[in-house]
Amino acid sequence: MRVSEYAEYDATGLASLVAAGEVTPSELMRLAREAHDEVNRQINAVMEFYEDAETVAGADGGLFHGVPFLRKDIGAAEAGRLQEKGSRLFKGCRPDTDSYFFRRAREAGLRTIGRTTTPELGSSVMTESILSGVTGNPWDLERAAGGSSGGAAAAVAAGITPIAHGSDGGGSIRIPASWCGLVGLNPSRGRVSGGPNNQDRSYGLTREFILCRTVRDMAAALDVFSGPHPGDPFIIVQPNRPYVDELLKPTGRLRVGVARTSWGAVNLDQEVLRAVESTATLLQKMGHTVQDIDPPYEPVEYSSLYLDPTTASGLEKAARAMGRSITANTLEPANLKRYEFCRDLPLSLAADVQEALRRMRFRVGEAIHAFEILLTPTMPIVAVPHGGIYSATNPAVSAEEYVEADTAICQYTGVFNVTGQPSVSLPLAQSASGLPIGIQIVGRFGDEATLVRVARDLEDARPWGDRRPTVRAGNS
Protein backbone atom coordinates (compact mmCIF):
# COMPACT_ATOMS: atom_id res chain seq x y z
CA MET A 1 0.00 0.00 0.00
CA ARG A 2 1.22 3.49 -0.89
CA VAL A 3 0.75 6.56 1.30
CA SER A 4 -1.69 8.00 -1.23
CA GLU A 5 -3.88 4.89 -0.83
CA TYR A 6 -3.53 4.85 2.96
CA ALA A 7 -4.73 8.45 3.22
CA GLU A 8 -7.96 7.61 1.35
CA TYR A 9 -9.18 5.12 3.96
CA ASP A 10 -11.17 5.90 7.07
CA ALA A 11 -10.41 4.02 10.29
CA THR A 12 -13.15 1.44 9.71
CA GLY A 13 -11.77 0.75 6.25
CA LEU A 14 -8.20 0.29 7.48
CA ALA A 15 -9.36 -2.05 10.26
CA SER A 16 -11.24 -4.17 7.71
CA LEU A 17 -8.05 -4.51 5.65
CA VAL A 18 -6.17 -5.68 8.75
CA ALA A 19 -8.93 -8.18 9.56
CA ALA A 20 -8.77 -9.53 5.99
CA GLY A 21 -5.00 -9.93 6.19
CA GLU A 22 -4.39 -7.44 3.38
CA VAL A 23 -2.23 -5.19 5.55
CA THR A 24 -0.63 -5.52 8.98
CA PRO A 25 -0.71 -3.08 11.90
CA SER A 26 3.04 -2.56 11.56
CA GLU A 27 2.59 -1.62 7.89
CA LEU A 28 -0.03 0.95 8.89
CA MET A 29 2.34 2.40 11.48
CA ARG A 30 5.01 2.72 8.78
CA LEU A 31 2.55 4.44 6.45
CA ALA A 32 1.47 6.84 9.19
CA ARG A 33 5.14 7.72 9.71
CA GLU A 34 5.58 8.35 5.98
CA ALA A 35 2.46 10.51 5.89
CA HIS A 36 3.71 12.45 8.92
CA ASP A 37 7.14 13.00 7.41
CA GLU A 38 5.58 14.24 4.18
CA VAL A 39 3.12 16.83 5.52
CA ASN A 40 3.80 17.69 9.14
CA ARG A 41 6.53 20.21 8.38
CA GLN A 42 3.87 22.25 6.57
CA ILE A 43 1.00 22.01 9.03
CA ASN A 44 2.81 21.52 12.38
CA ALA A 45 0.03 19.32 13.76
CA VAL A 46 2.02 16.55 15.47
CA MET A 47 4.38 17.84 18.13
CA GLU A 48 5.76 14.40 18.98
CA PHE A 49 5.81 11.23 16.89
CA TYR A 50 6.75 8.45 19.30
CA GLU A 51 10.13 6.87 18.64
CA ASP A 52 8.62 3.50 19.53
CA ALA A 53 5.48 4.08 17.44
CA GLU A 54 5.84 0.86 15.45
CA THR A 55 5.80 -1.23 18.62
CA VAL A 56 3.08 0.49 20.68
CA ALA A 57 0.52 -1.76 22.35
CA GLY A 58 -2.93 -2.39 20.95
CA ALA A 59 -5.24 -5.36 21.17
CA ASP A 60 -5.54 -7.81 18.29
CA GLY A 61 -9.07 -7.48 17.03
CA GLY A 62 -11.52 -4.74 17.95
CA LEU A 63 -13.38 -2.23 15.80
CA PHE A 64 -10.18 -0.33 15.01
CA HIS A 65 -7.65 -3.16 14.94
CA GLY A 66 -4.24 -1.83 13.93
CA VAL A 67 -5.37 1.72 13.13
CA PRO A 68 -2.90 4.55 13.91
CA PHE A 69 -4.21 7.07 16.43
CA LEU A 70 -3.01 10.39 17.86
CA ARG A 71 -3.46 11.92 21.34
CA LYS A 72 -4.21 15.56 21.95
CA ASP A 73 -1.67 17.20 24.30
CA ILE A 74 -4.32 17.92 26.94
CA GLY A 75 -7.15 15.91 28.49
CA ALA A 76 -7.01 12.11 28.47
CA ALA A 77 -3.52 10.87 29.31
CA GLU A 78 -1.18 7.96 28.66
CA ALA A 79 0.94 6.92 31.62
CA GLY A 80 4.59 7.88 31.19
CA ARG A 81 4.08 9.90 28.02
CA LEU A 82 4.63 13.65 27.85
CA GLN A 83 1.52 15.75 28.37
CA GLU A 84 2.43 19.44 28.40
CA LYS A 85 -0.99 21.03 27.74
CA GLY A 86 0.54 23.29 25.14
CA SER A 87 2.20 25.27 27.95
CA ARG A 88 5.69 25.99 29.21
CA LEU A 89 4.20 25.71 32.71
CA PHE A 90 3.76 21.97 32.14
CA LYS A 91 6.87 21.37 30.04
CA GLY A 92 8.25 17.89 30.70
CA CYS A 93 5.16 16.71 32.59
CA ARG A 94 4.50 12.95 32.41
CA PRO A 95 1.28 11.66 34.04
CA ASP A 96 1.62 8.38 35.90
CA THR A 97 -1.92 7.16 35.20
CA ASP A 98 -3.65 5.95 32.06
CA SER A 99 -7.02 7.52 31.36
CA TYR A 100 -9.89 5.10 30.81
CA PHE A 101 -10.15 6.70 27.37
CA PHE A 102 -6.77 5.31 26.28
CA ARG A 103 -7.38 1.95 27.91
CA ARG A 104 -10.47 1.67 25.74
CA ALA A 105 -8.50 2.86 22.71
CA ARG A 106 -5.99 0.02 23.13
CA GLU A 107 -8.76 -2.52 23.74
CA ALA A 108 -10.32 -1.46 20.43
CA GLY A 109 -7.05 -2.09 18.61
CA LEU A 110 -5.97 1.54 18.15
CA ARG A 111 -2.22 2.23 18.17
CA THR A 112 -1.42 5.66 19.62
CA ILE A 113 1.66 6.89 17.79
CA GLY A 114 2.11 10.49 18.96
CA ARG A 115 0.56 13.67 20.33
CA THR A 116 -0.94 16.66 18.60
CA THR A 117 -0.67 20.38 19.18
CA THR A 118 -3.12 22.40 21.23
CA PRO A 119 -3.24 26.05 22.29
CA GLU A 120 -1.95 26.67 25.80
CA LEU A 121 -4.30 25.04 28.33
CA GLY A 122 -6.76 24.37 25.50
CA SER A 123 -8.00 27.91 25.94
CA SER A 124 -8.31 29.22 22.38
CA VAL A 125 -9.89 28.67 18.97
CA MET A 126 -6.38 29.19 17.52
CA THR A 127 -3.94 26.30 17.83
CA GLU A 128 -0.78 28.32 18.24
CA SER A 129 1.50 28.51 21.24
CA ILE A 130 4.96 29.54 22.33
CA LEU A 131 5.68 25.89 23.22
CA SER A 132 4.82 24.26 19.89
CA GLY A 133 4.33 27.04 17.33
CA VAL A 134 1.51 27.67 14.85
CA THR A 135 -0.63 24.86 13.42
CA GLY A 136 -1.75 25.55 9.87
CA ASN A 137 -5.04 24.57 8.28
CA PRO A 138 -4.42 21.99 5.50
CA TRP A 139 -6.99 23.80 3.33
CA ASP A 140 -5.12 27.12 3.61
CA LEU A 141 -1.89 27.29 5.59
CA GLU A 142 -2.37 31.00 6.28
CA ARG A 143 -5.54 30.22 8.29
CA ALA A 144 -6.23 28.61 11.64
CA ALA A 145 -7.01 24.93 11.97
CA GLY A 146 -9.25 25.82 14.91
CA GLY A 147 -8.88 24.93 18.54
CA SER A 148 -8.32 23.57 20.86
CA SER A 149 -8.14 20.20 19.04
CA GLY A 150 -6.56 21.91 16.05
CA GLY A 151 -3.54 19.65 15.81
CA ALA A 152 -5.77 16.59 15.81
CA ALA A 153 -8.00 18.06 13.11
CA ALA A 154 -5.12 19.15 10.89
CA ALA A 155 -3.47 15.74 11.19
CA VAL A 156 -6.65 13.89 10.20
CA ALA A 157 -7.50 16.29 7.37
CA ALA A 158 -3.96 15.95 6.00
CA GLY A 159 -4.07 12.15 6.15
CA ILE A 160 -1.53 11.39 8.88
CA THR A 161 -4.11 9.27 10.70
CA PRO A 162 -7.80 8.71 9.88
CA ILE A 163 -8.91 9.36 13.44
CA ALA A 164 -7.49 11.29 16.40
CA HIS A 165 -8.31 12.08 20.02
CA GLY A 166 -9.85 15.44 20.85
CA SER A 167 -11.60 17.10 23.77
CA ASP A 168 -14.33 19.72 23.88
CA GLY A 169 -15.06 22.25 26.62
CA GLY A 170 -16.71 24.95 24.51
CA GLY A 171 -16.41 23.75 20.93
CA SER A 172 -12.87 22.38 20.86
CA ILE A 173 -13.77 19.33 18.74
CA ARG A 174 -16.48 20.93 16.62
CA ILE A 175 -14.61 24.17 15.79
CA PRO A 176 -11.58 22.48 14.16
CA ALA A 177 -13.91 19.93 12.54
CA SER A 178 -15.79 22.82 10.94
CA TRP A 179 -12.70 24.66 9.76
CA CYS A 180 -10.83 21.54 8.59
CA GLY A 181 -13.72 19.74 6.88
CA LEU A 182 -14.17 16.83 9.33
CA VAL A 183 -16.79 15.05 11.40
CA GLY A 184 -16.52 16.21 15.02
CA LEU A 185 -18.88 14.97 17.73
CA ASN A 186 -19.07 16.28 21.28
CA PRO A 187 -20.94 13.51 23.15
CA SER A 188 -23.49 13.96 25.91
CA ARG A 189 -22.18 14.78 29.36
CA GLY A 190 -21.35 11.44 30.98
CA ARG A 191 -21.30 9.39 27.77
CA VAL A 192 -17.50 9.02 27.84
CA SER A 193 -15.87 8.68 31.26
CA GLY A 194 -13.13 11.13 32.20
CA GLY A 195 -11.78 8.73 34.83
CA PRO A 196 -9.88 7.82 36.76
CA ASN A 197 -8.70 11.39 37.45
CA ASN A 198 -11.05 13.77 35.61
CA GLN A 199 -14.61 12.57 35.97
CA ASP A 200 -17.05 15.33 34.93
CA ARG A 201 -14.26 17.93 34.91
CA SER A 202 -14.74 21.68 34.54
CA TYR A 203 -18.28 21.67 35.96
CA GLY A 204 -19.16 18.97 33.45
CA LEU A 205 -18.41 21.21 30.47
CA THR A 206 -15.54 19.16 29.01
CA ARG A 207 -15.80 15.80 27.27
CA GLU A 208 -13.30 13.54 25.47
CA PHE A 209 -13.90 12.08 22.02
CA ILE A 210 -12.40 11.99 18.51
CA LEU A 211 -12.20 13.72 15.14
CA CYS A 212 -12.66 11.67 11.98
CA ARG A 213 -13.75 11.86 8.34
CA THR A 214 -16.85 9.61 8.17
CA VAL A 215 -20.06 9.05 10.10
CA ARG A 216 -19.38 5.33 10.37
CA ASP A 217 -16.10 6.05 12.16
CA MET A 218 -17.99 8.38 14.52
CA ALA A 219 -20.52 5.64 15.28
CA ALA A 220 -17.84 3.02 15.84
CA ALA A 221 -15.92 5.39 18.12
CA LEU A 222 -19.05 5.88 20.23
CA ASP A 223 -19.17 2.11 20.72
CA VAL A 224 -15.47 2.05 21.62
CA PHE A 225 -15.33 4.94 24.08
CA SER A 226 -18.81 5.00 25.64
CA GLY A 227 -19.69 3.42 28.96
CA PRO A 228 -19.56 4.16 32.68
CA HIS A 229 -16.74 3.38 35.09
CA PRO A 230 -16.63 3.17 38.90
CA GLY A 231 -16.39 6.65 40.39
CA ASP A 232 -18.30 8.42 37.64
CA PRO A 233 -20.74 10.89 39.23
CA PHE A 234 -23.75 9.52 37.36
CA ILE A 235 -24.60 6.92 34.73
CA ILE A 236 -26.22 8.35 31.63
CA VAL A 237 -28.97 6.39 29.88
CA GLN A 238 -27.29 3.61 27.91
CA PRO A 239 -27.99 2.93 24.21
CA ASN A 240 -30.50 0.30 23.13
CA ARG A 241 -28.09 -1.18 20.59
CA PRO A 242 -24.54 -0.56 19.31
CA TYR A 243 -24.21 2.78 17.58
CA VAL A 244 -22.90 1.13 14.42
CA ASP A 245 -26.27 -0.67 14.22
CA GLU A 246 -28.00 2.73 14.14
CA LEU A 247 -26.46 3.21 10.70
CA LEU A 248 -28.96 0.65 9.40
CA LYS A 249 -32.03 2.01 11.20
CA PRO A 250 -34.61 4.44 9.80
CA THR A 251 -34.52 7.98 11.13
CA GLY A 252 -38.25 8.67 11.31
CA ARG A 253 -39.72 12.16 11.10
CA LEU A 254 -38.23 14.75 13.41
CA ARG A 255 -39.06 18.25 14.58
CA VAL A 256 -36.06 20.41 13.68
CA GLY A 257 -35.27 23.84 15.15
CA VAL A 258 -33.16 25.96 12.80
CA ALA A 259 -30.86 28.84 13.80
CA ARG A 260 -30.71 31.42 11.00
CA THR A 261 -29.56 34.36 13.13
CA SER A 262 -26.45 35.25 15.11
CA TRP A 263 -26.33 34.08 18.72
CA GLY A 264 -23.42 36.37 19.63
CA ALA A 265 -21.39 39.43 18.70
CA VAL A 266 -19.78 37.92 15.58
CA ASN A 267 -22.12 38.35 12.63
CA LEU A 268 -23.21 35.28 10.70
CA ASP A 269 -21.41 35.12 7.35
CA GLN A 270 -23.79 34.96 4.38
CA GLU A 271 -22.09 31.87 2.93
CA VAL A 272 -22.53 30.08 6.25
CA LEU A 273 -26.18 31.16 6.43
CA ARG A 274 -26.81 29.82 2.93
CA ALA A 275 -25.30 26.49 3.97
CA VAL A 276 -27.66 26.33 6.96
CA GLU A 277 -30.66 27.22 4.81
CA SER A 278 -29.72 24.63 2.20
CA THR A 279 -29.40 21.95 4.88
CA ALA A 280 -32.76 22.95 6.37
CA THR A 281 -34.36 22.57 2.94
CA LEU A 282 -32.75 19.16 2.55
CA LEU A 283 -34.10 18.01 5.93
CA GLN A 284 -37.55 19.21 4.90
CA LYS A 285 -37.34 17.16 1.71
CA MET A 286 -36.46 14.16 3.87
CA GLY A 287 -39.81 14.57 5.62
CA HIS A 288 -38.78 16.46 8.76
CA THR A 289 -40.66 19.47 10.14
CA VAL A 290 -38.50 22.60 10.20
CA GLN A 291 -39.08 25.70 12.32
CA ASP A 292 -36.87 28.74 12.99
CA ILE A 293 -35.66 29.33 16.55
CA ASP A 294 -34.48 32.48 18.31
CA PRO A 295 -31.19 32.64 20.25
CA PRO A 296 -31.87 30.62 23.43
CA TYR A 297 -29.47 32.54 25.71
CA GLU A 298 -27.72 35.88 26.19
CA PRO A 299 -23.95 36.03 25.49
CA VAL A 300 -23.20 37.52 28.93
CA GLU A 301 -24.63 34.38 30.54
CA TYR A 302 -21.94 32.30 28.84
CA SER A 303 -18.94 34.61 29.07
CA SER A 304 -19.35 34.96 32.85
CA LEU A 305 -18.57 31.26 33.25
CA TYR A 306 -14.98 31.72 32.09
CA LEU A 307 -13.84 34.31 34.62
CA ASP A 308 -13.93 31.90 37.53
CA PRO A 309 -11.72 32.10 40.67
CA THR A 310 -11.13 28.33 40.64
CA THR A 311 -9.22 28.77 37.37
CA ALA A 312 -6.47 30.59 39.26
CA SER A 313 -6.42 28.30 42.29
CA GLY A 314 -6.16 25.22 40.05
CA LEU A 315 -3.19 26.64 38.15
CA GLU A 316 -1.46 27.64 41.38
CA LYS A 317 -1.84 24.12 42.76
CA ALA A 318 -0.40 22.61 39.57
CA ALA A 319 2.52 25.05 39.55
CA ARG A 320 3.37 24.26 43.18
CA ALA A 321 3.31 20.53 42.46
CA MET A 322 5.95 21.05 39.76
CA GLY A 323 8.00 23.52 41.76
CA ARG A 324 7.31 26.32 39.27
CA SER A 325 5.97 29.85 39.38
CA ILE A 326 3.28 31.44 37.25
CA THR A 327 5.00 34.23 35.34
CA ALA A 328 5.37 35.59 31.82
CA ASN A 329 7.99 32.87 31.34
CA THR A 330 5.48 30.07 32.00
CA LEU A 331 2.13 31.43 30.77
CA GLU A 332 1.25 33.18 27.53
CA PRO A 333 0.07 36.81 27.69
CA ALA A 334 -3.71 36.34 27.49
CA ASN A 335 -3.71 33.36 29.84
CA LEU A 336 -1.50 35.18 32.32
CA LYS A 337 -3.90 38.13 32.33
CA ARG A 338 -6.86 35.80 32.77
CA TYR A 339 -5.07 34.07 35.66
CA GLU A 340 -4.32 37.41 37.35
CA PHE A 341 -7.90 38.59 36.85
CA CYS A 342 -9.35 35.39 38.34
CA ARG A 343 -6.77 35.30 41.16
CA ASP A 344 -8.17 38.57 42.50
CA LEU A 345 -11.76 37.31 42.56
CA PRO A 346 -13.20 35.97 45.84
CA LEU A 347 -13.50 32.18 45.88
CA SER A 348 -17.12 32.60 46.96
CA LEU A 349 -17.87 33.55 43.33
CA ALA A 350 -17.47 29.88 42.39
CA ALA A 351 -20.97 29.35 43.79
CA ASP A 352 -22.22 32.05 41.42
CA VAL A 353 -20.71 30.15 38.49
CA GLN A 354 -22.59 27.02 39.51
CA GLU A 355 -25.82 28.99 39.73
CA ALA A 356 -25.17 30.62 36.33
CA LEU A 357 -24.73 27.16 34.83
CA ARG A 358 -28.01 25.99 36.35
CA ARG A 359 -29.92 29.02 35.08
CA MET A 360 -28.49 28.72 31.59
CA ARG A 361 -29.28 25.01 31.37
CA PHE A 362 -32.86 25.72 32.44
CA ARG A 363 -33.37 28.64 30.08
CA VAL A 364 -31.93 26.85 27.04
CA GLY A 365 -33.77 23.64 27.91
CA GLU A 366 -37.10 25.43 27.95
CA ALA A 367 -36.35 27.27 24.70
CA ILE A 368 -35.54 24.15 22.64
CA HIS A 369 -37.66 21.48 24.34
CA ALA A 370 -40.09 21.23 21.41
CA PHE A 371 -37.46 19.90 19.00
CA GLU A 372 -35.79 16.50 18.60
CA ILE A 373 -32.78 18.08 16.90
CA LEU A 374 -31.42 21.55 16.22
CA LEU A 375 -29.69 22.72 13.06
CA THR A 376 -27.16 25.55 13.52
CA PRO A 377 -23.92 26.79 12.01
CA THR A 378 -20.95 25.29 13.80
CA MET A 379 -19.05 28.54 13.44
CA PRO A 380 -20.43 31.89 12.27
CA ILE A 381 -17.48 32.38 9.90
CA VAL A 382 -14.94 30.30 7.99
CA ALA A 383 -11.41 29.74 9.27
CA VAL A 384 -9.70 32.98 10.27
CA PRO A 385 -6.09 34.04 9.59
CA HIS A 386 -3.50 33.28 12.27
CA GLY A 387 -3.00 35.62 15.21
CA GLY A 388 -5.29 38.40 16.30
CA ILE A 389 -7.64 38.67 19.25
CA TYR A 390 -8.35 34.94 19.46
CA SER A 391 -4.73 33.97 20.13
CA ALA A 392 -3.45 33.54 23.69
CA THR A 393 -0.04 34.70 22.48
CA ASN A 394 -1.45 38.18 21.74
CA PRO A 395 0.05 40.61 24.32
CA ALA A 396 -2.42 43.40 23.51
CA VAL A 397 -5.65 41.69 24.57
CA SER A 398 -7.06 41.96 28.12
CA ALA A 399 -8.58 39.06 30.05
CA GLU A 400 -12.10 40.39 29.52
CA GLU A 401 -11.54 41.03 25.78
CA TYR A 402 -10.08 37.55 25.33
CA VAL A 403 -13.05 35.82 26.99
CA GLU A 404 -15.61 38.01 25.20
CA ALA A 405 -14.01 37.35 21.81
CA ASP A 406 -13.98 33.60 22.46
CA THR A 407 -17.62 33.70 23.57
CA ALA A 408 -18.61 35.60 20.43
CA ILE A 409 -17.02 33.24 17.94
CA CYS A 410 -18.11 30.10 19.85
CA GLN A 411 -21.71 31.31 20.01
CA TYR A 412 -23.23 28.08 18.64
CA THR A 413 -20.96 25.56 20.36
CA GLY A 414 -20.29 26.45 24.01
CA VAL A 415 -23.97 26.60 24.95
CA PHE A 416 -24.29 22.85 24.39
CA ASN A 417 -21.31 22.13 26.64
CA VAL A 418 -23.38 23.85 29.32
CA THR A 419 -26.56 21.90 28.59
CA GLY A 420 -24.66 18.62 28.20
CA GLN A 421 -26.36 17.78 24.89
CA PRO A 422 -24.60 15.84 22.12
CA SER A 423 -23.72 17.89 19.05
CA VAL A 424 -21.85 17.09 15.85
CA SER A 425 -20.26 19.27 13.18
CA LEU A 426 -20.59 17.84 9.67
CA PRO A 427 -18.59 19.14 6.64
CA LEU A 428 -21.67 19.78 4.51
CA ALA A 429 -20.58 22.88 2.61
CA GLN A 430 -17.70 24.95 1.29
CA SER A 431 -17.16 28.66 0.74
CA ALA A 432 -16.64 30.15 -2.72
CA SER A 433 -12.91 30.10 -1.98
CA GLY A 434 -13.02 26.39 -1.11
CA LEU A 435 -12.83 26.60 2.68
CA PRO A 436 -14.90 24.06 4.66
CA ILE A 437 -18.15 25.12 6.33
CA GLY A 438 -19.35 22.92 9.17
CA ILE A 439 -23.04 22.51 10.01
CA GLN A 440 -23.95 21.54 13.57
CA ILE A 441 -26.68 19.05 14.46
CA VAL A 442 -27.66 19.01 18.15
CA GLY A 443 -29.58 16.17 19.79
CA ARG A 444 -31.48 15.76 23.01
CA PHE A 445 -29.48 14.83 26.08
CA GLY A 446 -28.36 11.19 25.88
CA ASP A 447 -29.63 10.72 22.32
CA GLU A 448 -26.52 10.17 20.23
CA ALA A 449 -28.46 7.49 18.33
CA THR A 450 -30.62 10.06 16.54
CA LEU A 451 -27.52 12.12 15.69
CA VAL A 452 -25.88 9.06 14.13
CA ARG A 453 -28.93 8.40 11.93
CA VAL A 454 -29.37 12.04 10.86
CA ALA A 455 -25.64 12.42 10.19
CA ARG A 456 -25.75 9.26 8.06
CA ASP A 457 -28.68 10.65 6.06
CA LEU A 458 -26.88 13.93 5.42
CA GLU A 459 -23.63 12.22 4.47
CA ASP A 460 -25.55 10.03 1.99
CA ALA A 461 -27.39 13.03 0.53
CA ARG A 462 -24.37 15.35 0.37
CA PRO A 463 -21.22 13.24 0.47
CA TRP A 464 -17.98 15.02 1.27
CA GLY A 465 -15.47 12.20 0.87
CA ASP A 466 -14.12 13.41 -2.47
CA ARG A 467 -13.04 16.83 -1.17
CA ARG A 468 -9.31 17.24 -0.61
CA PRO A 469 -7.35 19.95 1.21
CA THR A 470 -4.32 21.58 -0.37
CA VAL A 471 -1.95 19.73 1.98
CA ARG A 472 -2.65 15.99 1.95
CA ALA A 473 -0.37 12.97 2.35
CA GLY A 474 0.32 11.30 -0.98
CA ASN A 475 -0.27 14.44 -3.05
CA SER A 476 3.39 15.19 -3.66
- Cis amide bond preceding 193, omega within 30: no
Q: 15-36, pLDDT tens digit by residue? A: 999 999 999 999 999 999 999 9
Specify the 3-state DSSP secondary structure of 453. Answer: helix
Mean pLDDT on 89-116: 97
Could you give the dihedral angle defined by the CA atoms of residues 187, 189, 191 and 197, in that order, rounded to the nearest 10 degrees? Answer: 120
pTM over 0.95: yes
Superfamily of 11-461 according to CATH: Amidase signature (AS) domain (3.90.1300.10)
Q: What is the set of active-site residues?
A: 72, 148, 172
- Whether residue 208 is predicted with pLDDT greater than 90 in this model: the reply is yes
What integer pLDDT is reported at residue 307 of this predicted model?
A: 82
Give the gyration radius of the chain's Cα atoms. Answer: 21
What integer pLDDT is reported at residue 57 of this predicted model?
A: 83
State the amino acid at position 289 in one-letter form.
T
Q: 224-262, pLDDT tens digit by residue? A: 999 999 889 999 999 999 999 999 999 999 999 999 999
CB contact at 8 A, 225 and 208? yes
What integer pLDDT is reported at residue 300 of this predicted model?
A: 87
What integer pLDDT is reported at residue 382 of this predicted model?
A: 98
Mean pLDDT on 293-307: 90
- Cis amide bond preceding 148, omega within 30: yes
Average pLDDT, the chain: 96
Mean pLDDT on 345-370: 93
List Cα–Cα distances, 156 to 163, 217, 321, 428, 464, in angstroms.
6, 12, 34, 17, 14
Which of these, 34, 57, 55, 37, lies nearest to 45 by C-alpha position?
37
Query: Residue 416 — very low, low, confident or very high, per pLDDT cuts 50/70/90?
Result: very high
Percent of the chain with pLDDT over 90: 93
What integer pLDDT is reported at residue 164 of this predicted model?
A: 99
Query: Residue 311 — very low, low, confident or very high, per pLDDT cuts 50/70/90?
Result: confident
What integer pLDDT is reported at residue 16 of this predicted model?
A: 98
On the CB side of 404, how many CA atoms lie within 13 Å of its CA?
7
CB contact at 8 A, 84 and 90? yes
- Could you give the CA distance from residue 126 to residue 118 in angstroms, rounded to a whole number? 8
What integer pLDDT is reported at residue 476 of this predicted model?
A: 64
Mean pLDDT on 155-168: 98
DSSP codes of every residue in 66-94? T-EEEEESSSS--TTS---TTSGGGTT--
Domain regions of the chain by residue span: 11-461
| Burial bucket for residue 470 (CB in 10 Å: 0-12, 13-18, 19+) | middle
- Whether residue 114 is predicted with pLDDT greater than 70 in this model: the reply is yes
